[in-house]
């Protein structure tokens, strides 16, 4: 039995095209599995089996995959069983050109969705109407849909990190946080923008926004090959602390006395800055291994001020390169003046 790799173009297309292009006879059907499985097991010495080793995964029920592992071990107890997960994680971390093509398409569709919102958002519109606009734009462009449940939080809702009810009305004078992206060909984009509902930032909103934007830009420079995510997070913490002092939210004397285990900036920036991105939105990969070219990370600093009903987060997807990073979302408006001009059109 010979397994032929699929031509590269198939990996970037949607499922529908895959069925159109694959000659049906080259597929090994699930009903033939038992025959092939026994034939292969009689020839093999080592068997690599898959397991869900995602850091964020909790698996309370026995999966089909796990039952298969138990079955293999029971039926063929003398084989040498190994973990496939570390190999898969290494493969998934470093993106191949075909994977980047899918990811870029997810980004392009996401960008169209966001630009559509810049014209749509105004005082009185509901968060769920914004979600519906995006769903329309994403699906009409052949995305599989949302990469994750969209977070559309106006005013103080932006301070609720995983706010997904999206049921409130956007009010004049509020900011609106949009953590929204498309999935295309199984690859996920991940975008966050925060825009003024009425199209114009107040001086305070602009001040907080620009603080987050400065941190965002510096993060994109720090995130380079050789860097370890945990150390990067510490550096981002220092940058954020300075910005929070500048905004009058932290006080330098208190920062000097802070418990290093519980830095004060976490009150206003309680989450991580970057995660791997790909087939999973929070993709597999080790946070203690040095960053390598070909990896794709999000960069997503934020400042959430509950007492002011104001939360700002900005997030782009960054491809790590040997000689420099590529911001896959460089074309999506992020500067204050740009956002204001597009919203007032």
**Smallest separation, CB 118 to Mn ion (Å):** 21
Residues 6+ apart with CB under 8 A from 107: 189, 191, 317, 328, 329, 332
Distance (Å, rounded) from C-alpha 119 to C-alpha 199? 9
**Is residue 225 within 8 Å of residue 322, measured between CB atoms?**
yes
Question: CB-hemisphere CA count at 13 Å for 334?
Answer: 21
Interacting residue with Mn ion among 105, 112, 190, 283 (CB under 5 A): 190
Our CB check for Mn ion shows the closer of 67 and 266 to be 266
Our CB check for Mn ion shows the closer of 11 and 146 to be 146
Our CB check for Mn ion shows the closer of 188 and 241 to be 188
Residues in 6-25 that interact with Mn ion by CB under 5 A:
none
Number of residues that bind Mn ion (CB under 5 A): 2
Does residue 274 bind Mn ion (CB under 5 A)?
no
**Is residue 146 within 8 Å of residue 138, measured between CB atoms?**
yes
Distance (Å, rounded) from C-alpha 297 to C-alpha 274? 6
Interacting residue with Mn ion among 298, 311, 313, 339 (CB under 5 A): 298
Q: Which stretch binds Mn ion (CB under 5 A): 188-196, 232-240, 321-329, 337-345?
A: 188-196
Convert 203-219 to b/e letters by CB count within 10 Å (16 or more is b): eebeebbebbbebbeeb
Our CB check for Mn ion shows the closer of 191 and 211 to be 191
Our CB check for Mn ion shows the closer of 127 and 190 to be 190
Give the number of other Cβ atoms within 10 Å of residue 328's Cβ.
23
**Is residue 313 within 8 Å of residue 212, measured between CB atoms?**
yes
**Nearest of 277, 287, 161 to residue 233 by alpha carbon:** 287
Our CB check for Mn ion shows the closer of 118 and 296 to be 296
Q: Which stretch binds Mn ion (CB under 5 A): 62-70, 123-131, 206-214, 292-300?
A: 292-300
Q: Which stretch binds Mn ion (CB under 5 A): 86-94, 146-154, 295-303, 304-312?
A: 295-303
**Smallest separation, CB 192 to Mn ion (Å):** 7
**Is residue 290 within 8 Å of residue 93, measured between CB atoms?**
no
Q: Which stretch binds Mn ion (CB under 5 A): 51-59, 143-151, 152-160, 291-299?
A: 291-299
* Residues within the interface to Mn ion (CB under 5 A): 190, 298
């Amino acid at each position: 039995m010979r397994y032929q790799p699929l031509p590269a173009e198939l990996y970037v297309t949607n499922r529908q095209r895959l069925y159109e292009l694959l000659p049906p006879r080259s597929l090994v059907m699930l009903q033939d599995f038992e025959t092939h499985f026994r034939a292969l097991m009689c020839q093999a010495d080592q068997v690599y089996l898959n397991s869900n080793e995602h850091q964020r995964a909790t698996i309370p029920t026995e999966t089909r995959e796990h039952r298969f592992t138990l079955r293999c071990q029971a039926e063929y107890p003398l084989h040498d069983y190994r973990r496939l997960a570390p190999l898969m994680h290494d493969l998934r971390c470093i993106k191949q050109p075909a994977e980047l093509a899918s990811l870029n398409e997810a980004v392009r569709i996401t960008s169209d969705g966001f630009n559509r919102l810049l014209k749509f958002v105004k005082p009185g519109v509901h968060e769920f109407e914004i979600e519906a606009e995006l769903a329309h734009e994403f699906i009409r462009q052949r995305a599989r849909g949302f990469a994750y449940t969209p977070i559309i939080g106006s005013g103080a809702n932006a301070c609720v990190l995983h706010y997904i009810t999206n049921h409130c009305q956007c009010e004049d004078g509020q900011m609106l946080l949009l953590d929204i992206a498309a999935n295309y060909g199984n690859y996920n984009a991940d975008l966050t923008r925060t825009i003024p509902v009425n199209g114009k930032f107040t001086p305070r909103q602009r001040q907080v926004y620009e603080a987050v934007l400065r941190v965002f830009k510096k993060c994109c420079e720090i995130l380079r090959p050789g860097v370890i995510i945990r150390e990067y997070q510490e550096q981002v913490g220092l940058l954020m602390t300075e910005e929070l002092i500048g905004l009058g939210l932290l006080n330098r004397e208190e920062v000097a006395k802070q418990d290093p285990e519980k830095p004060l900036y976490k009150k206003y920036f309680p989450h991580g800055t970057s995660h791997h991105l790909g087939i999973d939105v929070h993709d597999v990969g080790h946070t203690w291994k040095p960053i390598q070219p070909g990896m794709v990370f999000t960069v997503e600093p934020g400042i959430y001020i509950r007492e002011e009903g104001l939360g700002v987060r900005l997030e782009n997807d960054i491809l790590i390169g040997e000689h420099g990073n590529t911001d896959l979302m460089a074309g999506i408006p992020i500067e204050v003046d740009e956002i204001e001009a597009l919203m007032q059109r």
